Amino acid sequence: MSVRTVATQPFSDQKPGTSGLRKKVPVFQQPHYLENFVQSIFDSIAAPKGATLVLGGDGRYYNREAIQIILKMAAANGFGEVLVGCGGILSTPAASCVIRKYKTYGGIILSASHNPGGPKEDFGIKYNSNNGGPATETVTEAIFAKSKSIASYRILDAADVPLDQLNETSLGGMKVKVIDPVSDYAELMESLFDFDAIRTLLKGGFKIKFDAMHAVNGPYAKEILEARLGAVSGSVMNAVPLEDFGGGHPDPNLTYAHDLVEIMFGADAPDFGAASDGDGDRNMILGKRFFVTPSDSLALLAANATLAPAYKQGLAGVARSMPTSAAVDRVAKALNIPCFETPTGWKFFGNLMDAGKVTLCGEESFGTGSNHVREKDGLWAVLFWLNIVAARKQSVEAIVREHWAKFGRNFYSRYDYEGLPTEAANGVMQHLRDSFATLTKQQFGKYTVQTCDDFSYTDPVDGSVSKGQGVRILFSDGSRIIFRLSGTGTEGATLRVYLEAFEADVSRHHLDAQDALKELIQIALRISELQTRTGRDQPTVIT
Ligand code: VG1
Ligand code: CO
């Protein structure tokens, strides 16, 4: 076995987005494409000789090939050991857990999250640091800069490593340890929540349904919900991970998790439903014929946190991404703890958690998490909810309605316009930025614009500044309209419009969010000129 130095040329399109580098599989399959990016990671992170790396992915198409390439490159770049999930599998939160538990130098996670998988679909790669979280902007920018000047990469000429059994092999002197992808994570979950109480709840006839969407969480959910907690067999549906997720979007929302939605809104609906995404970091929570908005879920977890053993002592603080509703802010105020507002993407929460400023955090995009790892965590959120239900002995709907009665309701919705021509999407954003002066103080029916800006964030821990994080139209009554371009899409541009209106009056809490937000939606369309500029009458997805 010998190390080969391969001459290469830069690709111009290796800028990591909100959550790593995501492209179509054929892009990744081009000669040197993946290798260039991996070498750029290794050149940027300056791992000492003999360092340990964690490696795994969500099992989508191209996962296995990519793992073999990365292993051979790690061996050629002086790593001493790689912990790789059996079959090349690690959910994103499990990878974060393993990096932290074994105090490794970092990890590489292969996933395009909620995007479809398959030979013509999406693939992705990202680097996580030793805190278990996505590399900071500074590191991702260094990786991108490297990728623009790369001239060669190093790879070991060797046969593929067997990854389907728990074993240890050597790859040119580097140890490859194949680990059980589930056990470390399952153990961590048991240490956080009251498994006995959840077991009792389930034994008492409380019915649950978890849709793994043929994605990575299938084996995790089977082990934790069925084997350890005793949910009846079959409680986990679509449990077998498939390379193409069975042809679906592994995105847990009311549109894409349709199998589950049909069951939960059907005649004999179970008491609790949940789903997670391609790489297991997102979650959707449903009660019997009842949908919990992710922003509300975050607020509710914060308000009820002390019911779970891990958070019994209370929370140091909470954080949410800027477009996420301010429901959690109200809880933070009541608890008298700080609440941070960060740009979209999990990498901004890591510093706050490392500094002990924040215990819980979340995003409107079906992501919630805590300082137990440094990624959002789908099953964790499900277990947290089950813990709360077991402790409060109320239905999901009753718990949410009580929460609204106490804190008020933040009506919330997101409109996604996917696959837009990039120029049209940029045009909408530019038009909005150009309109700040005229919009300020303008009145639209009962709504008056207070201020508008392009969100900028100064990290309270390291002082780094992230600009241009989304246009905010803030109204005097606390309502908000946010416009943002997605950083995870792989086709054209995706424009997201986020709408939020606060309602203190309990007699209006039963309203449908779309009805409650009707006027704001009209305002958003009008001020952005979205329809004329993009030629789209309707969003692709509403969540
Ligand atoms: C989207 C979500 C964002 C999330 C990101 C990664 O990003 O809006 O909240 O952190 O996906 O999630 P964007 O830039 O497309 O809006 V995952 O589960 O895809 O790692
Ligand atoms: Co994900």
Q: Is the dihedral of CA 14, 17, 21, 26 positive or negative?
A: negative
From residue 248, alpha-carbon distances to 49, 73, 108, 238, 244 in Å are 42, 32, 25, 11, 7
In the chain, the percentage of residues whose pLDDT exceeds 70 is: 100
Neighbour count for residue 69 (Cβ, 10 Å): 16
For residue 282 and ligand 1, the question of a CB distance below 6 A is answered with: yes
Domain locations in the chain as residue ranges: 2-181, 185-407, 409-542
**Residue showing tokens 């429901």:** 327
Mean pLDDT of 475-481: 94
Q: How far apart are CA 220 and CA 216, in angstroms?
A: 8
In the prediction, which pLDDT does 17 show? 86
The ligand that comes nearest to the alpha carbon of residue 416 is 1
* pLDDT for the residue 511: 92
Cβ count within 10 A of residue 417: 23
Residues with CB under 5 A from ligand 2 (ion): 113, 277, 279, 281-282
Mean pLDDT in residue range 251-258: 93
CATH number for the region 185-407 comes to 3.40.120.10
Nearest CA to ligand 1 atom 2: 365
Q: What is the pLDDT of residues 73-89, one digit of tens each?
A: 999 999 999 999 999 99
Residue 423: predicted pLDDT:
94
328 vs 358: CA distance, rounded Å = 13
Active-site annotation, residues: 113
| Ramachandran region, residue 214 (left: φ > 0; alpha: ψ -120 to 50; beta: rest) | left
The tokens for 90 are: 């690690």
Residue 349 in this model has a pLDDT that exceeds 80: yes
pTM: 0.93
pLDDT on residue 490: 76
Q: Using 50, 70 and 90 to split pLDDT, how confident is the model at 488?
A: confident
**Residue 54: predicted pLDDT:** 98
Average pLDDT over residues 247-251: 92
Q: 185-407 and 409-542: same fold?
A: no
pLDDT tens by residue, 97-126: 999 999 999 999 999 999 999 999 999 999
Check: CB of residue 267 under 8 Å from CB of residue 289: no
Location of structure tokens 């194949």 = 178
228 phi/psi in degrees, rounded to 5: -85, -35
pLDDT tens per residue, range 395-434: 999 999 999 999 999 999 999 999 999 999 999 999 999 9
Q: Is the CB of 395 under 6 A from ligand 1?
A: no
CB 128 within 8 A of CB 96: yes
Q: Is the CB of 369 under 6 A from ligand 1?
A: no
CA nearest neighbour of 275 among 290, 296, 256: 256
What's the CATH number for 409-542?
3.30.310.50
pLDDT value, residue 487 = 82
Going from the Cα of 241 to the center of ligand 2, the distance in angstroms, rounded, reads 15
Q: In a 3-state reduction of DSSP, which class is residue 172?
A: coil
Verify whether ligand 1 is closer than 6 Å to residue 349 (CB atom): no
Please report the DSSP string for 329-343 in residue order.
HHHHHHHT--EEEE-
Asked if residue 10 lies in contact with residue 161, where contact means CB atoms within 8 angstroms, the answer is no
In the block, which residue shows the tokens 């009660």? 287
29-46 pLDDT tens trace: 999 999 999 999 999 999
Residue closest via CA to ligand 1's atom 4 equals: 345
For residue range 277-308, what is the model confidence (pLDDT) as tens digits? Answer: 999 999 999 999 999 999 999 999 999 999 99
pLDDT, mean of residues 198-211: 97
Q: Is the pLDDT of residue 262 over 90?
A: yes
Whether 480 shows a pLDDT value over 90: the answer reads yes
Question: For domain 2-181, is the CATH number 3.30.420.40?
Answer: no
